[in-house]
Amino acid sequence: MQTLGEFIIEQQKDHQDASGELSKLLSSIKLATKIVNREVSKAGLVDILGGVGGENIQGEEQQKLDVFANKHFIKALQARGVVCGIASEENEDFIDCNTEDSKQAKYVVSMDPLDGSSNIDVNVSIGTIFSIYKRITPVGSPVELKDFLQKGIHQVAAGYVLYGASSMLVYSTGNGVNGFTFDPSIGTVYLSHPNIKTPEKGKIYSINEGNFNSFEQPIKSYIDYCKQEDKSSLRPYSARYIGSLVADFHRNLIKGGVYLYPSTSKAPNGKLRLLYECNPLAFLVEQAGGMATNGKERILEIQPTELHQRVPFVIGSKKMVEKVSAMH
Ligand code: P6P
């Protein structure tokens, strides 16, 4: 069984990561993932549950694990001097890692350190999502917003951690998608899902149908399509919605299916954020043979304009995402 560390080194040879900086970056993510995984797995035992009282910039109550995860991912990323800037769902503005080492670093990271945090207290799987770019401003100069506002097609790497029944790290550096599973007994992470490919068609659709009345007509039509009886196209599909993006995405990636978070009356631009939720998952799903749109256009082609901007999101099996686009 190959460990994540061995895999990263092997990939470095195949990848144009001659300097090894990307390998060091991925190793720092591995370290932070282990630290957060340890806390998440015992969240019910120690007093780390429940709101920390504050609110994050999204106006959502900050759970203690949110704060803990944000702190440790930032610390791990800054420690090795391989990242010059960090954008996080938990921070209003990006962080310029202006230590001597970091100033020479060529990568910036956007992340959602702990997505689905409202599920923490009820022991439902939650996740971390990250997206890695090369900076576009000169190495050694202060990091600028434009370093983060790059189209998703320019991502160097992206991935997620799923803190679930068993915890997994799934990522891609542009050469396919690989999944690694934690062995908590010895704290090692093993390659368990090499070269993940998502089925072209599936029979699972994931959407919060509580918002049905405020969906636009094409989305309503697609939901009705999912419910119609038609054996030849595996319908009716099964409705599966955990309410935790990483958990819903991971299940659909492996089994086939489509996840939708379209615009609603409460969230006219959708709820999910382009930079550190939609772009990284879109990068992964395309690497796995799937597709991701805002209902009409490819997520990875959208030009970001703000750090925390939201976009409508449709992601999963290629044929299913195409069907949603055809409904528009
Ligand atoms: P709703 C969790 O807050 C999250 O960002 C995603 O993880 C999840 O898929 C979605 O929101 C759930 O949102 O509005 O259906 O509760």
**Looking at residue 319, which CATH number applies to its domain?**
3.40.190.80
Total number of domains constituting the chain: 2
Strand partners of residue 291 = 316
Average pLDDT over residues 304-326: 98
> In the prediction, which pLDDT does 15 show?
65
Atom of ligand 1 nearest to the CA of 266: 14
Q: Are 308 and 57 in contact (CB under 8 A)?
A: yes
Distance from the CA of 245 to the center of ligand 1, in angstroms? 6
Distance from the CA of 123 to the center of ligand 1, in angstroms? 15
Q: Is the pLDDT of residue 17 over 70?
A: no
Among the candidates 137, 172, 193, a domain finishes at 193
Residue 38 sits in the same domain as residue 88 = yes
Among the candidates 159, 193, 227, a domain finishes at 193
Residue whose CA is closest, atom 3 of ligand 1? 116
Residue 280 lies in a domain: yes
Q: Is the pLDDT of residue 208 over 90?
A: yes
Tokens 């797995």 sit on residue: 41
Residue whose CA is closest, atom 2 of ligand 1? 116
Residue whose CA is closest, atom 13 of ligand 1? 243
Residue 301 sits in the same domain as residue 170 = no
Average pLDDT over residues 120-148: 94
Atom of ligand 1 nearest to the CA of 127: 7
Phi and psi for 79 in degrees, rounded to 5? -60, -35
Strand ranges inside 48-146, DSSP E: 51-55, 61-63, 83-88, 95-96, 107-115, 126-134
Q: Residue 101: helix, strand or coil by DSSP?
A: helix
What tokens does 161 get? 């951690």
Q: Which domain holds residue 49?
A: 4-193
Residue 198 lies in a domain: no
Describe the chain by its helix, strand, coil percentages, rounded to 5: 35, 25, 40
Q: Does the beta carbon of 271 sit less than 6 angstroms from any atom of ligand 1? A: yes
Q: What is the mean pLDDT of the chain?
A: 92
Atom of ligand 1 nearest to the CA of 277: 5
Residue 38 sits in the same domain as residue 171 = yes
Global pTM value: 0.95
Residue 62 sits in the same domain as residue 137 = yes
Q: Does the beta carbon of 245 sit less than 6 angstroms from any atom of ligand 1? A: yes
Q: Are 191 and 171 in contact (CB under 8 A)?
A: no
Residue whose CA is closest, atom 10 of ligand 1? 243
Average pLDDT over residues 275-282: 98
Q: Is the pLDDT of residue 316 over 80?
A: yes
Residue 252 sits in the same domain as residue 168 = no
Enumerate the H helices of the chain as residue ranges. Answer: 4-14, 21-41, 64-79, 100-103, 217-227, 245-255, 279-287, 318-327
> In the prediction, which pLDDT does 10 show?
87
Enumerate the H helices of 194-277 as residue ranges. Answer: 217-227, 245-255
Question: What share of the chain in percent tops pLDDT 70?
Answer: 94
Average pLDDT over residues 304-314: 98
Residue whose CA is closest, atom 12 of ligand 1? 243
Residue 185 sits in the same domain as residue 210 = no
Residue 15 sits in the same domain as residue 153 = yes
> In the prediction, which pLDDT does 59 show?
73
Q: Residue 286: helix, strand or coil by DSSP?
A: helix
Residue 106 lies in a domain: yes
Q: Residue 191: helix, strand or coil by DSSP?
A: strand
Residue 120 lies in a domain: yes
Q: Is the pLDDT of residue 16 over 80?
A: no
Residue 213 sits in the same domain as residue 322 = yes
Can you state the angle between helices 217-227 and 318-327, rounded to 10 degrees?
A: 130
Distance from the CA of 151 to the center of ligand 1, in angstroms? 23
Average pLDDT over residues 80-90: 94
Q: Give, for ligand 1, the residue of 65, 115, 160 to mutate: max count of ligand atoms closer than 8 Å to Cβ.
A: 115
CATH code of the domain covering residue 73 = 3.30.540.10
Residue 199 lies in a domain: no
Average pLDDT over residues 126-144: 96
Residue 161 sits in the same domain as residue 21 = yes
Residue 14 sits in the same domain as residue 97 = yes
> In the prediction, which pLDDT does 49 show?
59
Atom of ligand 1 nearest to the CA of 248: 9
Residue 220 sits in the same domain as residue 174 = no
Q: How confident is the model at residue 52 (pLDDT cuts 50, 70, 90)?
A: low
Residue 323 lies in a domain: yes
Atom of ligand 1 nearest to the CA of 60: 3
> In the prediction, which pLDDT does 109 show?
98
- Taking CA atoms, 34 is separated from 47, 73, 184, 218, 287, in Å, by 19, 10, 9, 42, 25
Among the candidates 193, 216, 245, a domain finishes at 193
Determine the Cα angle at 23 with ends 170 and 195, to 5°.
35
